[in-house]
A and B are shown apart, each in its own frame.
Chain A
């Protein structure tokens, strides 16, 4: 059996005194897209932030390729190859597109030029806007910049926090197809999403979080077709 790239084992964690995650376990295997879905306030984003050492982990562990990285500070986690795209404020608005990508490569300053070329190939829209301030781009393009910025390092795994929140349907589709393209480059992805149906559509596996604990898990298709889940979260389906 192969080892998971990232695994969260029986986590109890939260901010300060407040506990948000209760005995949460999940893992991401190599070359896999895994989605975390669930209602608002279920702790989806919190689960992601626990990986980055941004909150208080009381019990349980986080492992990257079998190594324990629980409570490692964000900067070290990122140096180890976990790339994270926050939901909002995920680009430096006053920096140009290219400067944003350069900042993404902070922990890996060598060979930036080659990596920039790769990114402009993966995100052709960005190539022509490389000197523009990221703040002047549309929401969808900013999301592209944020993802490209996160991929500037040799990412062992990419964490995306609600990449399609607030985007028009056209851009949503584009983001999801880009996510599949990124998977094609061999980077596994953990994605937190509100748009559960579309997210499960591109995912290999999914977890359903309710009240800080995983309630269901299964393959992307399996969850998407599960009538109970459809009733609970997918609703009319955005």
Chain B
């Protein structure tokens, strides 16, 4: 029974983190898949979302500004808004850059954002980071929540303590995972609607043939900024959930570009850029591979260190972590070369007019 519980909780953690990555991947899909914007600074928007959420919702602390102890949903909404705002400012100046220039610029901006979080110690507690970030559902069992409104209206603190003591200590895990999956589902539904709307078709047209769209009188720049901002808002929301999941964030290791930006890119490319379902599938798949390879390698290290007793298993373990990253990198190269469309390649939203005629004429251009 204990063993099954372990598997169950492991599955929940896969779904939780996979879901958070799915949110990042959906955000990137709006920017890259819909609008063809090469954002290589995903980690910057994630960090903004995470920090804003953390500062707004933590209890007052002497280490950093605030915390303001705001309700969790408010923190998440403002985290989204801030990420969107920053993306809007970046978009205004950077959006017209060609793909790889945009990539360089966004990487640079993400690094500046992290640098600010690292250096403005008075606001962010610098490299030591912010801890005790409230995690949805689990936060109900914290004193500052149950001893104040609205929870205090329902029961006394003593009753709450008794209630939470009666629950298993992992009670929040299925609820948290479920919440994240629900968020993924809602974002997915909204993006699907956007994709098949006139707005989404216009995005496809712009991406495929910018000069023609421009000539047709479409405001290409404005559409692109919109996509960039929407994508960033989704990443900001993902960042807030990421902060909840981690409970402790700091600027350097938490927001390592290779584990956020790069992994999300691999997920989107593997799943199929331009396809929202592909983005979600890619996120869960790559996260599962990433996570399972850890178990696999840990098992291998046990064997190796048992055979070669002179090797220090802890050194092997850190080294092996890097091998996993390398394998993910190679996996991405293989997908890029062999399956350029990903597992679920993009399906074009057919325009209502063309829908009737397009059936017989696939493959025919002009």
When A and B assemble into the complex, do they touch directly, with CB atoms less than 8 Å apart?
A: yes
List the A side residues contacting B364 at CB < 8 Å.
Answer: 17
Specify the chain A residue showing the minimal Cβ separation from B364. Answer: A17
List the B side residues contacting A17 at CB < 8 Å.
Answer: 363-365
Asked if B366 lies at the interface with its beta carbon under 8 angstroms from chain A, I say yes
Contacting B at CB under 8 A, from A6-33, are 17-18
Specify the chain B residue showing the minimal Cβ separation from A17. Answer: B365
- Considering the chains assembled together, what is the distance between the CA atoms of A213 and B364 in angstroms? 22
- Considering the chains assembled together, what is the distance between the CA atoms of A18 and B363 in angstroms? 11
Specify the chain B residue showing the minimal Cβ separation from A16. Answer: B365
- Considering the chains assembled together, what is the distance between the CA atoms of A21 and B366 in angstroms? 16
Cβ contacts B118-151/A at 8 Å (1 or 0 each): 0000000000000000000000000000000000
List the A side residues contacting B363 at CB < 8 Å.
Answer: 17
- Considering the chains assembled together, what is the distance between the CA atoms of A17 and B364 in angstroms? 8
- Considering the chains assembled together, what is the distance between the CA atoms of A18 and B366 in angstroms? 8
- Considering the chains assembled together, what is the distance between the CA atoms of A18 and B365 in angstroms? 8
Cβ contacts B332-366/A at 8 Å (1 or 0 each): 00000000000000000000000000000001111
- Considering the chains assembled together, what is the distance between the CA atoms of A150 and B59 in angstroms? 76
- Considering the chains assembled together, what is the distance between the CA atoms of A168 and B342 in angstroms? 53
List the A side residues contacting B366 at CB < 8 Å.
Answer: 18
- Considering the chains assembled together, what is the distance between the CA atoms of A17 and B365 in angstroms? 8
State the Cβ distance, A44 to closest chain B Cβ, in Å: 20
List the B side residues contacting A18 at CB < 8 Å.
Answer: 365-366
Specify the chain A residue showing the minimal Cβ separation from B365. Answer: A17
- Considering the chains assembled together, what is the distance between the CA atoms of A91 and B364 in angstroms? 37
Specify the chain A residue showing the minimal Cβ separation from B363. Answer: A17
- Considering the chains assembled together, what is the distance between the CA atoms of A17 and B362 in angstroms? 13
State the Cβ distance, B79 to closest chain A Cβ, in Å: 46
State the Cβ distance, A211 to closest chain B Cβ, in Å: 15
- Considering the chains assembled together, what is the distance between the CA atoms of A162 and B202 in angstroms? 38
- Considering the chains assembled together, what is the distance between the CA atoms of A2 and B129 in angstroms? 86
- Considering the chains assembled together, what is the distance between the CA atoms of A62 and B366 in angstroms? 28
- Considering the chains assembled together, what is the distance between the CA atoms of A226 and B156 in angstroms? 105
State the Cβ distance, B366 to closest chain A Cβ, in Å: 7
Specify the chain B residue showing the minimal Cβ separation from A18. Answer: B366
State the Cβ distance, B364 to closest chain A Cβ, in Å: 8
State the Cβ distance, A46 to closest chain B Cβ, in Å: 15
State the Cβ distance, B158 to closest chain A Cβ, in Å: 76
- Considering the chains assembled together, what is the distance between the CA atoms of A17 and B366 in angstroms? 10
State the Cβ distance, A22 to closest chain B Cβ, in Å: 16
- Considering the chains assembled together, what is the distance between the CA atoms of A18 and B364 in angstroms? 9
- Considering the chains assembled together, what is the distance between the CA atoms of A142 and B366 in angstroms? 36
- Considering the chains assembled together, what is the distance between the CA atoms of A84 and B255 in angstroms? 54
- Considering the chains assembled together, what is the distance between the CA atoms of A67 and B363 in angstroms? 36
List the A side residues contacting B365 at CB < 8 Å.
Answer: 17-18
- Considering the chains assembled together, what is the distance between the CA atoms of A180 and B366 in angstroms? 41
- Considering the chains assembled together, what is the distance between the CA atoms of A59 and B49 in angstroms? 59
State the Cβ distance, A234 to closest chain B Cβ, in Å: 30
- Considering the chains assembled together, what is the distance between the CA atoms of A140 and B132 in angstroms? 73
Contacting B at CB under 8 A, from A86-141, are none
State the Cβ distance, B208 to closest chain A Cβ, in Å: 15
Specify the chain A residue showing the minimal Cβ separation from B366. Answer: A18
State the Cβ distance, A91 to closest chain B Cβ, in Å: 25
State the Cβ distance, B27 to closest chain A Cβ, in Å: 34
- Considering the chains assembled together, what is the distance between the CA atoms of A78 and B55 in angstroms? 67
State the Cβ distance, A36 to closest chain B Cβ, in Å: 24
5 nearest interchain CB pairs? A17-B365, A18-B366, A18-B365, A17-B363, A17-B364
5 interchain pairs, CB-CB under 8 A: A17-B363, A17-B364, A17-B365, A18-B365, A18-B366
- Measuring CB to CB, which residues of chain A are less than 8 angstroms from any residue of chain B? 17-18
- Measuring CB to CB, which residues of chain B are less than 8 angstroms from any residue of chain A? 363-366
